[in-house]
């Protein structure tokens, strides 16, 4: 589901197989920087701040920005953003800078956003501080109610893969998708960054006014990091299913907010690390 711009390009490679070399075309996943800006009116004047730069696969950029800003506490709902737009260059439209123009009356803590973004990209920030940062952002405990059949869980990564069109051509993208408890795909996004793929899913749901997503399951193609659990919690998603392993801090955060965290979902099995009562 790569939209707005193409997510691939081709190059020529020399391929070695069985002692024979042949020249052929190969398809690459595109990776380009995206600068995220926020603008708002303060005391009658418009302010613009660059919040972050992320390396991403072009496509669904507005969803990516909306999801990122929701997780960082800038956007509480779709009503908080008046417009998402590519910034205009002197000669043509610049597709690697997106500005979120906030609706009148929308407020946020710029200092907190800067600290959170710095924390995310830094080494050496302790786990306790990271957990407290999520709590200070106003995330709530995830409600009970959602349950899923244990026999369905191992099928979810395969159903995610069925909608990974760019991965099929390149082998170089992560994916994230929302599913309901019957296993039906709701939305799938791809990106070179696993965190970007989740932001695209969260932003898509935010702009469609479907957050919190209390009746959905988030499935990711790689491991379950602290960041991905944080994004699921912020979006109100009560279950995260990962193909790979979770980190220790991801488990701590999932336990703190009562998220069901599942890892090593492959070969017909899986591990439930937190809140196993949702798996029946």
Residue 15 has pLDDT above 90, yes or no: no
Active site residue 126: no
Which of the following is catalytic: 87, 123, 126, 139? Answer: 123
Determine what percent of the chain is predicted with pLDDT higher than 70. Answer: 83
Q: What is the pLDDT, as a whole number, of residue 137?
A: 65
CB atoms within 10 A of CB 158: 11
Spell out the residues 6+ positions from residue 238 whose beta carbon is closer than 8 angstroms to its own.
142, 143, 145, 146, 214, 258, 259, 260, 275, 278
Record the pTM.
0.86
How far apart, in whole angstroms, are the C-alpha atoms of residue 90 and residue 19? 52
Question: What is the pLDDT, as a whole number, of residue 208?
Answer: 97
Check pLDDT > 70 for residue 270. yes
Task: Point out the least confidently predicted range of 91-95, 213-217, 226-230, 252-256.
Answer: 91-95
Q: How confident is the model over 218-236, as a mean pLDDT?
A: 95
Domain range summary for the chain, segments of one domain joined by +: 32-136, 153-278
Q: What string of H, E and C letters represents the secondary structure of 206-262?
A: HHCCCCCCCCCEEEECCCECHHHHHHHHHCCCCEEEECCCECHHHHHHHHHHCCEEE
Q: What is the pLDDT of residues 210-226, one digit of tens each?
A: 999 999 999 999 899 99
Query: What does the pLDDT average to over 142-147?
Result: 94
- What is the DSSP secondary-structure string of 74-133? S-SSGGGEEEEEEEE-SSSEEEEEEEEEEPTT----HHHHHHHHHHHH-SS--HHHHHHH
CATH number of 153-278: 3.40.140.10
Average pLDDT over residues 237-248: 96
Range in 34-43, 63-72, 84-93 the model is least confident about:
84-93
What is the per-residue pLDDT across 2-12, written as a single tens digit (0 to 9) for each?
333 457 777 78
Q: What is the pLDDT of residue 156?
A: 96
The number of C-alpha atoms within 13 Å of 242 and in the hemisphere containing its C-beta is 27
pLDDT band, very low/low/confident/very high, at 131 (cuts 50, 70, 90): low
Query: Which three-class secondary structure state does DSSP give residue 146?
Result: coil
Strand partners, 224: 246
Long-range contacts of 50-53 (CB under 8 A, 24+ apart): 51/113, 51/114, 51/117, 52/117
């Amino acid at each position: 589901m790569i939209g707005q711009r193409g997510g691939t390009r081709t190059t020529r490679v020399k391929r070695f197989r069985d002692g024979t070399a042949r020249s052929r075309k190969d398809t690459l996943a595109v990776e380009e920087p995206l600068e995220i800006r926020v603008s708002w009116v303060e005391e009658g004047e418009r302010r613009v701040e660059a919040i972050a730069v992320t390396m991403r696969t072009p496509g669904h950029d507005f969803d990516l920005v909306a999801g990122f800003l929701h997780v960082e506490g800038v956007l509480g709902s779709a009503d908080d953003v008046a417009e998402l737009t590519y910034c205009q260059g002197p000669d043509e439209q610049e597709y690697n800078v997106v500005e979120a123009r906030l609706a009148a009356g929308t407020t946020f803590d710029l200092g907190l956003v800067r600290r959170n973004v710095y924390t995310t990209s830094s080494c050496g920030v302790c786990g306790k501080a990271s957990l407290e940062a999520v709590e200070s952002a106003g995330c709530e405990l995830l409600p009970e109610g959602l349950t899923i059949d244990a026999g369905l869980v191992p099928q979810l990564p395969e159903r995610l893969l069925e909608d990974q069109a760019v991965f099929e051509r390149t082998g170089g993208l992560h994916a994230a998708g929302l599913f309901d408890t019957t296993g039906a795909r709701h939305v799938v996004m791809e990106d070179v960054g696993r965190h970007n793929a989740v932001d695209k899913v969260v932003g898509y749901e935010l702009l469609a006014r479907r957050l919190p997503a209390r009746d959905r399951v988030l499935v990711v193609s790689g491991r379950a990091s602290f960041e991905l659990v944080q994004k699921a919690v912020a979006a109100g998603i009560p279950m995260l299913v990962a193909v790979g392993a979770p980190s220790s801090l991801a488990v701590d955060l999932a336990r703190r907010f009562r998220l069901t965290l599942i890892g090593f979902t492959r070969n017909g099995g899986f591990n439930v690390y937190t809140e196993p009562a949702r798996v029946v």
